[in-house]
Amino acid sequence: MKSKAFNLVIGAALLCALSPSLFAQRPTTATHIPRADIMTVFEHMGESIDQQIRVVDIGDEVNVGVGILQRIGTRTEGEEVNAIVHHRVAEIYYVLSGSGTLVTGGNIAGDIEFPASNSSVLELIGPSGARTISNGQTKTISAGDVVIIPAGVPHGFRNIQDQITYLSMRVDPDQVLPTGYEHPSLED
């Protein structure tokens, strides 16, 4: 009798542990973001430095946002760098053109949180804040480079000579970004 009860408890525990995977709705197709869409959004950036192209649900309640960003000119000289930190979203950069010195981590000062109603928080980056960092890790990045920035790591640029343009793949494990978002310039 104990064996049967034990098996029922183990079976129920396994079902509970596996149920998100068993019952979660998973995508059945891949998402293609053609170069033409990327260029359309890039052309509509105007004065903005960051535009989300799409936000895709990849299953298991995880989104991936794909955005295009451009930083122009030297943003910070010296040791201190104005930085941003995303609390729940990780980023993967793929540099398309230009170069700059990316500074990550280091000593943090000047914690300023962005309001939850800020459009950047709602559409692009999730809960985030501004920081000043010093003594961080520095790496010059340029066209063709990939950088992975975990959630919670402050990051900012200095020594951008002309510009740096990059794609950002934003891994959003809590779906704080709007699932199914598509940049307005891509709507039919």
Q: Is residue 122, in this structure, part of any structural domain at all?
A: yes
For the domain that residue 86 is a member of, what is the CATH number?
A: 2.60.120.10
> What mean pLDDT, rounded, does the chain reach?
87
pTM: 0.83
Q: Is residue 176, in this structure, part of any structural domain at all?
A: yes
Q: Is the pLDDT confidence value at 23 over 70? A: no
Q: Is residue 22, in this structure, part of any structural domain at all?
A: no
Look at residue 113 in the predicted model and tell me its pLDDT.
97
Q: Is residue 182, in this structure, part of any structural domain at all?
A: yes
CA distances from 180 to 31, 38, 55, 152, 183 (A): 11, 16, 5, 25, 10
Q: What is the mean pLDDT of residues 123-136?
A: 94
Asked if 60 and 27 touch (Cβ cutoff 8 Å), the reply is no
Q: Is residue 72, in this structure, part of any structural domain at all?
A: yes
Look at residue 27 in the predicted model and tell me its pLDDT.
81
Scored b (16 or more CB within 10 A) or e, 115-139 reads eeeeeebebbbbbbbebbbeebeee
Domain count, the chain: 1
Q: Is residue 3, in this structure, part of any structural domain at all?
A: no
Domain membership of residue 113 as a residue range: 29-186
Confidence of residue 178 (pLDDT cuts 50, 70, 90): very high
| Cβ neighbours of 1 (radius 10 Å) | 5
Residue among 71, 64, 93, 55 at smallest CA distance from 159: 71
Q: Is residue 15, in this structure, part of any structural domain at all?
A: no
Q: Is residue 173, in this structure, part of any structural domain at all?
A: yes
Contacts (Cβ under 8 Å, ≥6 apart) of 160: 71, 72, 73, 74, 75, 98, 99, 100, 101
Q: What is the mean pLDDT of residues 5-23?
A: 49
